[in-house]
Amino acid sequence: MIVLENVHKAFGKEVAIHDVSLHIPEGAIYGIMGPSGAGKSTILRMMNLLEKPDSGHVIVGGRQLTTATTLQLNAARKSIGMIFQHFHLVANKTVYDNIAVALSLADVPKKEHATRVAEVLAYVGLEAHAKKYPAMLSGGQKQRVAIARALVTKPRVLLCDEPTSALDSNTTSGILQVLAQIHRDFGMTIVLVSHEVAVIKSMCTHVAILEQGAIYKTLDITPTGITASDNTAESFVRALQEDHV
Ligand SMILES: Nc1ncnc2c1ncn2[C@@H]1O[C@H](COP(=O)(O)OP(=O)(O)OP(=O)(O)O)[C@@H](O)[C@H]1O
């Protein structure tokens, strides 16, 4: 479903991603974890080419993104939603307009917007908040709006960059429940970047652990909750394995 082939990325002299290959099966909830600066966000952002690799290939749903024209890339991106740690909502637009922008970008006719926005807002439990501005919402509500915006174009893939890192633990579990529900209802492939072992273990079917821009290890996992004892790649492996031997 999502294939990275020998992707490489440097920022100036610093190599952020070193020859990474990864295969994410259709319908997986695939975790990406590892220490700060390991390259998690960069890898995720390559999956919709927000970050273009210097070399290697990115293939999503059979579409080769790295050699795509701008038109082809825009078409491919309609099937790839993304949410972020800090939500990335537009402050001076209402909740309705924040979501409708995604429909405009995907060339969905305006006459369909009201119904489509109402549907996704109801799905995330915010139907009463369409006319509010982001500043009037809690962190969890903002992330629900961002999820609604990502869902409104009916993507096949949802990329999640630390979606709960700015939230308290109660709100985190609400957002994780929404993501799990999306996975159940739509069979979407979800890629979830997190540095929290508990989040990865409660959500993911597979995990790749990164260290210094390379894949340290990939594991298939069955989620239950434990925590890592320190912030090294090996500690994540231990934490994940301890509970599953
Ligand atoms: N736009 C950029 N310009 C320069 N360097 C960058 C840029 N984006 C990322 N990097 C560097 O690439 C490396 C990987 O960064 P990345 O954000 O992918 O790591 P991460 O694992 O997501 O880290 P964190 O958990 O702290 O968010 C880091 O050394 C970072 O400083």
Q: What is the mean pLDDT of each run of 10 residues along the chain (245 residues)?
A: 96 95 96 95 97 97 94 92 96 98 94 97 97 97 97 97 93 95 96 92 92 93 50 69 57
CATH code for position 233: 3.40.50.300
Residues 148 and 162 in one domain: no
Number of structural domains (the chain) is 2
Is residue 11 within 6 Å of ligand 1 at its C-beta? yes
Which DSSP letter does residue 50 get?
S
Q: Is 37 in the pocket of ligand 1 (CB under 6 A)?
A: yes
pLDDT for the residue numbered 238: 72
Domain interval for residue 221: 25-50+63-79+155-245
pLDDT of amino acid 62: 93
Do residues 137 and 201 both lie within one domain? Answer: no
DSSP secondary structure string for all residues of 63-117: EESTT--HHHHHHHHTTEEEEETT----TTS-HHHHHHHHHHHTT--GGGHHHHH
ipTM: 0.97
Residue 170 lies in a domain: yes
- pLDDT score, position 225: 42
Residue 41 CB less than 6 A away from ligand 1 = yes
* Residues 221 and 166 grouped into a single domain: yes
Shared domain for 72 and 96, answered yes or no, is no
* Binding site membership of 195 for ligand 1 (Cβ less than 6 Å): yes
- Whether 162 and 223 share a structural domain: yes
Assess whether 31 and 112 both reside in one domain. Answer: no
Cβ–Cβ under 8 Å, residues 204 and 193:
no
Atom of ligand 1 nearest to the CA of 38: 21
- Please answer whether residues 224 and 239 qualify as being in contact, where contact means their C-beta atoms are separated by less than 8 angstroms: no
- Asked whether residue 4 is assigned to any structural domain, the reply reads no
- pLDDT, tens digit, 9 for 90 and up, residues 98-137: 999 999 999 999 999 999 999 999 999 999 999 999 999 9
For residue 117, report the distance from its CA to the centre of ligand 1, in Å. Answer: 34
* d(CA 40, ligand 1 centre) in Å: 8
Atom of ligand 1 nearest to the CA of 195: 25
Nearest atom within ligand 1 for CA of residue 44: 18
| pLDDT recorded at residue 243 | 58
Q: Are residues 159 and 41 in the same domain?
A: yes
Residues 239 and 211 in one domain: yes
Q: Is 237 found in the same domain as 121?
A: no
| Same domain, yes or no: 45 and 114 | no
How far does residue 11's CA lie from ligand 1's centre (Å)? 9
| Predicted pLDDT of residue 161 | 97
13 lines ligand 1 (CB under 6 A): no
Structure tokens at 141: 């509500």
Own/partner long-range contacts of 214-217 (Cβ < 8 Å, ≥24 apart): 214/17, 214/18, 214/19, 214/20, 214/39, 215/20, 215/21, 215/22, 216/34
State the pLDDT at residue 46: 97
120 within domain boundaries: yes
pLDDT of residue 229: 44
CA 223 to centroid of ligand 1, rounded, Å = 27
